[in-house]
Amino acid sequence: MKLAVEVIGWMGALLILLSYALLSTGKLRAESLTYQSMNILGAAGFVVNSGWNGALPSAVMNVIWMGIGIYAVRQHRQQIRARCAN
């Protein structure tokens, strides 16, 4: 189980770093579902790893990070629906 938790944590780190690199180089837009999904899944990986290892400040911060990402995705979907309705 410990190995799985470590792999999940490292995959989370990779997703967050990759999403930031792609954003910084102009390959992704902050509003894109891909960018937000990478951040949400990356933060979820950190939550699993941090929680398992008892690093509660990191786990809480990443739950908040996920919430921000989920909020952004919902806002983006509402904007798309509003455009399609008009």
pTM of the model: 0.90
Give the CA-trace dihedral at 2, 70, 23, 16, to 10 degrees.
Answer: -10
Higher pLDDT: 27 or 81? It is 27
pLDDT of residue 28: 97
Residue 69 pLDDT exceeds 80: yes
Residue 85 pLDDT exceeds 90: no
Tokens at residue 4, please?
A: 């799985």
Cα–Cα distance measured from residue 27 to residue 3, given in angstroms and rounded to the nearest whole number:
32
Q: What are the φ/ψ torsions at residue 55 (nearest 5 degrees)?
A: -90, 75
Q: What are the φ/ψ torsions at residue 73 (nearest 5 degrees)?
A: -65, -45
Residue 64 pLDDT exceeds 80: yes
